[in-house]
Amino acid sequence: MGAVAEPLPNRRRGARRIRRAGGRGLLYVLAWIVALAILIPLIYAVLGGFRDTGQIAQNPVGLPDPWVPSNYTDILKSGTFWRQLWNSVLIAGLSTLLTVPLAAAAAFIFARFAFPGREWFYALFTLGLLFPVAVAILPVFIMVRDLGLLDSPLGVVLPQAAFGLPVTIIILRPFFASIPADLQDAAAIDGAGPLRFFWQILLPLSRPVLATVSVLAIVSSWNAFLLPLVVLTDSSQWTLPLGVTNYSTEHGADTAKILAFTTLSMVPALVFYAFAERHLVRGLTSGAVKG
């Protein structure tokens, strides 16, 4: 750090560089240890899917010998995996398509309109961050049942979208507020009302942050477990997380098959992550840094 401005005698500078090189090496070692801790379970799952269960019991370390691709191919050939994948995609897509537009419209009002009780309404939404699904799950279940939406994707989508509103609004509001008022004035002089300003100017300008909140909504829906667990009892409606838990109880002793199924269910999330990491990180850190 900042040795540039420091006039040191040659000998001391040399000693310092050596010490710093040693420190560097230590940093790399530490980084690799953490990296391995993250990677080992993932590699174990991927390779485990290529073994048979006898191999896993005898030698779970090292490469599979011989490689057994049938665990993977069997799952890919059966319809179950694809149906669950489709259910997950459908529910994540619908949830996001519901949460983001509704939250954007509400955040627009919170950001650019003054009216009595505005902060009160906003506080009501932020409180939602504290309501875990577990607290509301019993009444939500009763309500979904009374609406006749058990075993329907909508029974998951609607509550999920409602619970996703707080985070989305909290991220969108400051962004919408930071768009200069001059723009809105100019639009007004040209005869554009608030609706057209929202649609034709604000939303196009907010594409990055909209991408961010969409990614957040997709990931949280994709991983959701408790709500689908109580709402979707019919196995044809199950999402991937339900499929994975069920597959692992059904094939109790067949570790290799379970690992293959689990690995396949990870793949879409990891591929998505590789493309959307930047948006995800931006969404999670917005606000947390500024305080």
Partner 1 sequence: MAATTGQAAPPGRLADDVSVARVGGPGPADRRRARRRRVLRKLTTIALFLLPALVLYLLLVVFPIFQAVRYSGYKWSGLGPLTDFVGLDNFKRALQDDVFRGAVKHNAIIVALSLCIQLPVALGVAMLVNARLKGRALLRLLFFAPFVLSEVVTAVVFSLMLQPDGLVNHSLDKAGLSALGADWLGSTSLVLYTCFVVISWKYFGFHMVLYLAGLQQIPRELEEAAAIDGANRRQIFRYITLPLLGPTIRISVFLSIIGAIQLFDLVWVLTGGGPVNASNTMAIYVVDWGFKRFQFGYASAVAVIMLVISLVFALLYQRFVLRRDIEGALTTMGR
- Applying the rule CB under 8 A, the residues between 254 and 283 that interact with partner 1 are 255, 258-259, 262, 265-266, 269-270, 272-274, 277, 280-281
- Taking the complex as a whole, the smallest distance from the CB of residue 217 to partner 1 amounts, in Å, to 13
Residue type, 32: W
Q: Two tokens at 22?
A: 């040693």
- Taking the complex as a whole, the smallest distance from the CB of residue 14 to partner 1 amounts, in Å, to 18
Window 206 to 235, contacts with partner 1 (CB under 8 A): 219, 222-223, 225-226, 230
Q: Please say which residue, 76 or 135, places its beta carbon nearer to partner 1.
A: 135
- Taking the complex as a whole, the smallest distance from the CB of residue 122 to partner 1 amounts, in Å, to 8
Helix axes 207-223, 153-177, angle to 10 degrees: 150
Window 111 to 150, contacts with partner 1 (CB under 8 A): 111-115, 119, 121-126, 128-132, 134-143
- Taking the complex as a whole, the smallest distance from the CB of residue 58 to partner 1 amounts, in Å, to 9
Q: Answer yes or no whether residue 252 interacts with partner 1 by CB under 8 A.
A: no
Window 21 to 40, contacts with partner 1 (CB under 8 A): 24, 27-28, 30-31, 34-35, 37-39
Q: Are 213 and 286 in contact (CB under 8 A)?
A: no
> Dihedrals φ, ψ of 17, to 5°?
-65, -40
Helix axes 79-112, 153-177, angle to 10 degrees: 40
Q: Please say which residue, 11 or 61, places its beta carbon nearer to partner 1.
A: 61
Window 39 to 98, contacts with partner 1 (CB under 8 A): 39, 41-42, 44-45, 48, 57, 59-61, 98
Q: Which residue among 50, 81, 108, 238 contacts partner 1 (CB under 8 A)?
A: 108
Q: Please say which residue, 91 or 111, places its beta carbon nearer to partner 1.
A: 111
Part of the chain binding partner 1 (CB under 8 A), chosen from 8-16, 76-84, 204-212, 241-249 = 241-249
End-to-end CA distance of the chain: 27
CA pair distance 68, 219, nearest whole angstrom: 31
CA pair distance 223, 225, nearest whole angstrom: 6
- Taking the complex as a whole, the smallest distance from the CB of residue 13 to partner 1 amounts, in Å, to 14
Q: Two tokens at 269?
A: 């999330």
Q: Two tokens at 222?
A: 């994709």
> Read out DSSP for 6-71?
----HHHHHHHHHHHHHHHHHHHHHHHHHHHHHHHHHHHHHHHTTS-HHHHHH--SSS-SS--THH
Binding-site residue total for partner 1 (CB under 8 A)?
119
Q: Please say which residue, 11 or 290, places its beta carbon nearer to partner 1.
A: 290
Q: Which residue among 50, 72, 81, 176 contacts partner 1 (CB under 8 A)?
A: 176
Q: Please say which residue, 65 or 277, places its beta carbon nearer to partner 1.
A: 277
Q: How many CA atoms lie within 13 A of 208 on its CB side?
A: 10
CB atoms within 10 A of CB 169: 26
Q: Please say which residue, 28 or 82, places its beta carbon nearer to partner 1.
A: 28
